[in-house]
């Protein structure tokens, strides 16, 4: 009996596993920020990102495995799956951002740094929502995560305005594509927040 109780205590909830998936993704975004600031270390950054991506895939697989094996989950399975998928998409697009920046020898500039900072803020709010057991707190943090994700779109639009005000060149095209990649990340974050909000509403009905 004691062994069974110990095993139950050691089992992680979908809430814990989603939080871990977000932590891995935050590591990927931090690496992307470092790659902008230190171009000389980008080769190492690409290798490190591959490792982080592998960790993210494992974290998502564990979320799905545990979610499928439990009789009940703290939110609807469909909404948990959507949230996990959105977080996975954030990491995948962060990986592509780093890969493209290195391949193109691009320097996306301050606006990319600003957008990545907003992505970090959104992920942290999303993590707080995932970890909380208070429905009011979950709702507030999801809305905050969505707001930060919306700021990424505004940063992208500001970047386009600056690019279109300059003479078109290969460098401006590279910057536009990288900013668009960050804009996509913002959209995926908003989708993740919406998935958690949907799950919260279903539990309240």
Q: For every residue of 44-77, which 3-state class applies, written as one string? A: HHHHHHHHHHHHHHHHHHHHHHHHHHCCCCCCCH
Angle at 88 between CA 82 and CA 89, to 5 degrees: 90
CA distances from 162 to 83, 100, 108, 178 (A): 33, 21, 12, 14
Q: What is the pLDDT of residue 121?
A: 98
Domain annotation covers residue 186: yes
Domain annotation covers residue 6: no
Q: What is the pLDDT of residue 201?
A: 83
Q: Find, among 63, 117, 99, 91, the residue nearest to 185 by Cα.
A: 91
Q: Which two tokens stand for residue 108?
A: 């996306």
Q: What is the pLDDT of residue 3?
A: 45
Which helix (DSSP H) or strand (DSSP E) does residue 203 occupy? helix 170-204
Q: Which two tokens stand for residue 72?
A: 């009940």
- In a structure prediction context, what are the per-residue pLDDT tens digits for the chain, which is 205 residues long? 444 334 443 468 889 999 999 999 999 999 999 999 887 778 888 889 999 999 999 999 999 998 888 756 667 888 999 999 999 999 999 999 999 999 999 999 999 999 999 999 999 999 999 999 899 999 999 999 999 999 999 999 999 999 999 898 999 999 999 999 999 999 999 999 999 999 988 876 4
Residue 65: exposure state from Cβ atoms within 10 A (0-12, 13-18, ≥19):
exposed
Q: How far apart are the first and last CA of the chain?
A: 37
DSSP-derived letter for residue 165 is T
90, 102, 107, 181 alpha-carbon torsion, rounded to 10°? -30
Domain annotation covers residue 3: no
Domain annotation covers residue 7: no
Cβ(188)–Cβ(89) under 8 Å? yes
Q: What is the CATH number of the domain that holds 105?
A: 1.20.58.220
Q: What is the pLDDT of residue 71?
A: 52
Domain count, the chain: 1
Q: What is the pLDDT of residue 176?
A: 96
Domain annotation covers residue 19: yes
Q: Which structural domain range is residue 170 located in?
A: 13-204
pTM confidence score: 0.91
Q: What is the pLDDT of residue 72?
A: 63
- Which residue shows structure tokens 């998928």? 85
């Amino acid at each position: 009996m004691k062994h069974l109780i110990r095993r139950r205590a050691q089992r992680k909830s979908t809430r814990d596993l989603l939080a871990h998936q977000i932590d891995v993704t935050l590591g990927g975004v931090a690496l992307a920020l470092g790659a902008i600031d230190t171009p000389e270390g980008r080769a190492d950054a690409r290798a490190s990102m591959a490792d982080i991506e592998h960790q993210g895939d494992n974290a998502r697989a564990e979320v799905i495995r545990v979610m499928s094996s439990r009789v009940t989950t703290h939110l609807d399975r469909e909404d948990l799956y959507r949230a996990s998928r959105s977080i996975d998409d954030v990491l995948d697009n962060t990986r592509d951002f780093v890969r493209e920046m290195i391949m193109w020898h691009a320097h996306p500039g301050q606006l990319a740094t600003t957008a990545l900072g907003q992505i970090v803020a959104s992920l942290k709010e999303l993590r707080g929502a995932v970890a909380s057991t208070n429905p009011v707190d979950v709702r507030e943090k999801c809305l905050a995560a969505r707001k930060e994700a919306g700021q990424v779109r505004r940063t992208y639009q500001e970047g386009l305005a600056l690019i279109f005000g300059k003479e078109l060149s290969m460098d401006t095209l590279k910057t536009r594509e990288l900013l668009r990649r960050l804009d996509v990340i913002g959209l995926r974050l908003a989708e993740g927040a919406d998935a958690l909000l949907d799950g919260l509403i279903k539990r309240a009905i």
